[in-house]
Amino acid sequence: MEAGNTMDAMAVMMSGRDTRWYRGHLLKLTMICFLILITSMTNGYDGSMMNGLQSLPYWEDYFHNPQGGLLGLFNAIQSIGGFASLPIAGGIADRFGRRMGIFIGCTIMIIAVAIQTAAQDIGMFIGARALIGFGLGIAATAAPLLITEIAFPVHRAPITSLYNTTWYLGSIVAAWATFGTFQLTNNWSWRIPSVLQGLPSIIQMLFIFFIPESPRWLVSKGREDQARRVIGQYHCGGDMSDPLIQFEIDEIEAAIELEQQARSVTWISLFRDPGNLKRMRIIIGLAFFSQWSGNGLVSYYLSKVLKAVGITNPFDQTLINGVLQIFNYITSITFALLIDKLGRRVLCLGGIGCMIVFFTLQTICSALYAESAKDVNAAGDPIHPNKSAGHAVIAFIFLYYMSYNAALNGLLVSYTVEILPFLIRAKGFIIFSFAIDLSLIFNQYVNPIALEKLGWKYYIFYCVWLVFEFGYVWMFMLETKGKNGPLSLEEIAALFDGQENAIVARTHFQDSNKQQLEQVEHFNEKYEDGRSPVTTNM
């Protein structure tokens, strides 16, 4: 059977169904997915919190105004902790389940947040941040896997794309928490934002075992009956006679059977055959691009960027940070929901192209301000600063981030997860996380040193690098948007492994496909007019 025929079968399966995310059992499933999505909040909270803390006098005084390499370590240590968790994170998700991976990670993060809030010295603060990163690495490996494996088929891409948008939800809470506490005249001005970092983990830990386990993981462990109940309850509204259940089970079993026959699941499998090499080339490239596109300057060192263009007041800095995070959250959600309409390549290439333009303009305006600020008075203040250039930098930061959100926010995780076959998905995501943590460690440590030494001239590096990113994505990124609707995860695999393997993957359906379509027709006859409520996409 050709892959396209299975796509036709999926289209028939969806025909006549009410697939609106806010109706009936799908609303419950959407709320479950959102609970999983907030894993990314902790990471987003951290970046925005560290931005805010650098604007708080009491935090700077308490830790003796860290600069350069020490400030870089403050930020990079969480990524170092995440890096250390990678050898075990995938094993936990594969052996104990996706839910347990999230639970274990959240437990570690809650303990670490308590230590960070009570920090008495720089060593205690840095150690706690490393532990936060360790727990986050475990939870953030399991969460995207659970989302993509439990989501309703036609909602999978947009919901998975929303995973990274909750980074900004966390950053909003952190930005406004520091904006509200900077006026406090004691160390609680930074301890309160610190303790709030544990909020997403507390919510997840309390509710994680009230949500279903991944049907794909259940089938891989020989628990098909449980997988059927999960799909029946959350995809079919409790109707166990719905042919969609068997259709999804067949796809899962066929994919697992094929992958088990084709390769032994080892780390070498990720780099052994041409299809996986294509996947790794794209995944590793996008992982580095997500952190090495100039966004790290604003994500962790906004106060330094703003000070360089004359905005030195803590009130103004924390206010700009708060507004920027709300803007980012809105734009990231918008683009995440357009992923199936516009396609992956359009969003990524279009976003990077705009990033090149706006980051270049930001660099030019920063240079203009720096040149105008060379002449200073006795107090060290610029005599004739080019305030227009400084304000333009702020505008271009907002426009740059809108472009970044189109290219490398929601798309980053959803694309990575959907192009990885089931049995290498956890390990492939480990490589993805490894590349992100490695790039973050370098970025967070180097950025403050480079900014201190080079100022606006450091931006030129990212202008050139963004051009390289555009060329790389143009050459290697494959489009996974279906022509007639969303593709299944197994059909996406055919794009990388070739049509021959796709045909083998589909032989499982050849004998049953006709029967399944007949079941769909019979199923739809249960409705008075032969159809369920009008079908609409998410």
Q: Are the C-beta atoms of residues 128 and 77 closer than 8 Å to each other?
A: no
pLDDT, tens digit, 9 for 90 and up, residues 138-165: 998 899 889 989 999 888 877 877 787 7
pLDDT, one tens digit per residue, over 508-529 is 444 445 555 555 555 555 544 4
- Cα distance between residue 335 and residue 329, in whole Å: 10
User: What pairs with residue 181 in β-bridges?
Assistant: none
Average pLDDT over residues 363-377: 86
166 pLDDT more than 60: yes
pLDDT at residue 3, as a whole number: 43
pLDDT tens-digit profile of 84-131? 998 898 889 989 999 999 999 999 999 999 999 999 888 899 999 999
- Give the integer Cα–Cα distance in Å for 147 and 214: 8
The three-class DSSP label of residue 382 is: strand
Amino acid at 490: E
Which backbone phi and psi does 376 adopt, to 5 degrees?
-125, 160
- Residue 340 one-letter amino acid: D
Angle between helices 188-195 and 98-117 (to 10 degrees): 170
Amino acid letter, residue 84? A
Q: How far apart are CA 63 and CA 72, in angstroms?
A: 14
Judge contact between 122 and 505, C-beta under 8 A.
Answer: no
Residue 530 CB partners (closer than 8 Å, separation 6+): 16, 524
Among 165, 158, 163, 179, residue whose Cα is nearest residue 329: 165
Q: Establish how many alpha carbons lie within 13 A of residue 4's alpha carbon, considering only the half-sphere containing its beta carbon.
A: 2
Judged against a pLDDT cut of 90, whether residue 286 lies above it is answered with yes
Contacts of 176 (CB under 8 A, 6+ apart): 322
Displacement of CA 57 from its chain's centroid (Å): 32
What is the number of other CB atoms lying within 10 angstroms of the CB of residue 530? 10
Rounded to 10°, the helix 295-307/274-291 angle is: 10
| pLDDT tens track for 225-267 | 999 999 999 999 999 988 899 989 988 888 777 666 645 567 7
CA 221 to chain centre: 27
- The span from the CA of 431 to the CA of 418, in Å, is 15
Phi, psi of 148 (to 5 degrees): -70, -25
Tokens for 425, please give them. 């998905």
3-state helix, strand, coil in the chain (%, to 5): 80, 0, 20
How many CA atoms does the CB half-sphere of 460 hold within 13 Å?
Answer: 6
309-347 burial by CB neighbour count: b if 16+ within 10 A, else e? bbbeebeebbbbbbbbbebbbebbbebbbbbbeebbbeb
Q: What is the value of pTM for the model shown?
A: 0.75
Question: CA 513, CA 207: separation in Å to the nearest integer?
Answer: 38
Burial class of residue 525, CB neighbours in 10 A (0-12, 13-18, 19+): exposed
Give the pLDDT of residue 490. 66
Report helix, strand or coil for 188: helix
Q: How far apart are CA 209 and CA 111, in angstroms?
A: 20
Where does the pLDDT of residue 399 fall: very low under 50, low under 70, confident under 90, or very high at 90 and above? very high
Q: What angle do CA 276, 282, 287 make, to 5 degrees?
A: 120
288-306: pLDDT as tens digits = 999 899 888 887 778 888 8
Give the domain 3-494 fold.
Growth Hormone; Chain: A; (1.20.1250)
Hey, what are 94's tokens?
Answer: 């594969």
Taking CA atoms, 468 is separated from 279, 407, 440, 512, in Å, by 19, 14, 19, 48
- Nearest-CA neighbor of 53 among 81, 35, 75? 75
Confidence of residue 538 (pLDDT cuts 50, 70, 90): very low
- For 454-487, how does the pLDDT look when each residue is reduced to its tens digit (9 = 90+)? 888 999 999 999 999 999 999 999 888 877 666 6
User: Cα dihedral sign for 356, 360, 366, 367?
Assistant: positive
> Which residues 6+ apart lie within 8 Å of 90 measured at CB?
141, 426, 427, 429, 430
Q: How confident is the model at residue 365 (pLDDT cuts 50, 70, 90)?
A: very high
pLDDT of residue 522: 54
pLDDT reported for residue 202: 94
Task: Report the pLDDT averaged over residues 330-335.
Answer: 91
DSSP secondary structure letters along 121-186: SHHHHHHHHHHHHHHHHHHHHHHHHHHHHHS-GGGHHHHHHTTTTHHHHHHHHHHHHHHHHTT-SS
Which three-class secondary structure state does DSSP give residue 376? strand
Residue type, 464: V
What confidence tens digit (pLDDT) does each residue in 57-92 have?
888 888 888 877 788 788 788 888 988 998 898 889
Question: How far is it, in rounded angstroms, from Cα 255 to Cα 253?
Answer: 5
Quote the CA–CA distance of 157 and 284 in Å, as a whole number. Answer: 20
Domain ranges of the chain: 3-494
Q: Are 339 and 350 in contact (CB under 8 A)?
A: no
Burial 449-466 (b: 16+ CB within 10 A, else e): ebbeeeebebbeebbebb
Q: How far apart are CA 177 and CA 321, in angstroms?
A: 11
